[in-house]
Each structure stands twice: as structure tokens, then as C-alpha cells.
Chain A
């Protein structure tokens, strides 16, 4: 149980393109999902908390207009990197948990490369 699916796993696109990443909870409902970014050899950095039916909560320093999050259902959250530039190239990972004190389960991640 507690499977989180993330798609796509790899994206290569030109600078200025907007990229959408999907995160789905396959066998449970997730009122809250989390989006992380990880640069090479660095730790996970929480970008935002995605709340079903309401606005996402962004961490300090994360541009909400740059990284659009939509959590339209209990099983799907999307992260859109708008007008992506090379500095946005990174490994983006989503996670979700079933209960408040239970562990988060991670998707496989999306490797984004902006040329």
C-alpha cells in the first residue's frame, strides 16, 4: 500500500518552456502532498505543501508564480514550472502520507533538464 506515482520521470526542454509534473496517490487518498527539489549532492529541499481544494503553502524563498501547484483531487497534485530556465534544472520529487504521524511515501521523482 501507499504507492505514489510521479510522471514524467525525465524531461528535457528548451528554456522558456513550461513543464507540468504529476503526482498521484494510487491506493490511498491524500489531502496533503509535498513537493521537494534536490540539486546534485544536496539534501531534499521542501518547496511547498499542496493542499486538496485550497492554495498551496510555499516555503520561504520559493516563487509561487514560478512554481504553480494545483491539488484538484484527493489523488492528484501537479507542479508546473513556468517559463523554465537552466537554473530550474533539478530533481523534483513529490510525496504523500496517509495519516498525520505516518511516514511520507515518495514518488520516483522527475529529472528536469532545461537547455
Chain B
């Protein structure tokens, strides 16, 4: 069974700090990975996509992929209270276009 695992948290960081969110996946056939942000009561919003090993940066966000270790991470620099949300890791492309989602990590950025 294909699985994506995340620590449920909550992960608490002070404002201005770096938040580090981690995810592991079991399906070695997965080719694409995504980070979504979900505010309470809202639908998920795409934050980052990553397809190859290494780092990908977009503003305050950096996604990291290590296919050998089957590990994906998301770094949020200069964390803001507005970053407080649940972050979902998803993998796909390993068998059609269905995504496998992790259970999400709740991030709390404290003033």
C-alpha cells in the first residue's frame, strides 16, 4: 500500500524562525511531490511542487527532495503567524495521476 507519512504535530515555532516540515513516502515509483497548505475550514492550496532531487526555492519556501531516502521536506523561512495552518505532503505519478496525501502537519507560528 502506498503511504505518505508526516508528523501530525503541532509544530510550534516563534515568529521569524525557520519551520521545517518533513514527509516520507513508501512508493519508489512516485515521480512528483507537492506541498499544500490548508487553513481550518478551507480547501488545500498548492504551495510547492518538486520533481527532482535537490532543493527548490520559491520566496520564503524551500522544498527538498531526496529520492534515495524517500524523503521530502518543506522549509519556511521567516515564519509569520499567517503561516499557521496544516501542511499536507502529497506524492503522485507512480501509478496514474492519483495523489497520495499524508495526514498533514499542523504548524503554529507564535508571536
Q: Do the beta carbons of B97 and A32 come within 8 Å of each other?
A: yes
Q: Do the beta carbons of A43 and B98 come within 8 Å of each other?
A: no
If A34-B98, A105-B46 touch, whether A43 touches B88 (CB-CB below 8 Å) is yes
B4 nearest CB neighbor, chain A only = A43
Q: How far is the CA of A42 from the CA of B40 in the complex (A)?
A: 11
List of B residues within 8 angstroms of A107 by Cβ: 43
In the complex, how many residues of chain A place their beta carbon closer than 8 angstroms to a beta carbon of chain B?
23
List of A residues within 8 angstroms of B34 by Cβ: 103-104
What sequence of 0s and 1s flags, for each residue 33-45 of chain A, a beta carbon within 8 Å of any chain B beta carbon?
0100000001110
Q: Which of B14-22, B53-61, B76-84, B101-109 contacts A (4 or more CB under 8 A)?
A: B101-109
Q: Do the beta carbons of B44 and A44 come within 8 Å of each other?
A: yes
**Nearest chain B CB to A1 CB, angstrom units:** 12
Q: Does A68 contact B (CB under 8 A)?
A: no
List of A residues within 8 angstroms of B45 by Cβ: 106
Q: List 17 A-B contacts (CB under 8 A).
A: A34-B98, A34-B99, A43-B101, A43-B104, A44-B101, A49-B96, A49-B98, A100-B96, A100-B97, A102-B32, A103-B32, A103-B34, A103-B49, A104-B90, A105-B46, A106-B36, A109-B43
Residues of A with Cβ closer than 8 Å to B?
A: 6, 32, 34, 42-44, 46, 49, 91, 93, 97, 99-109, 111
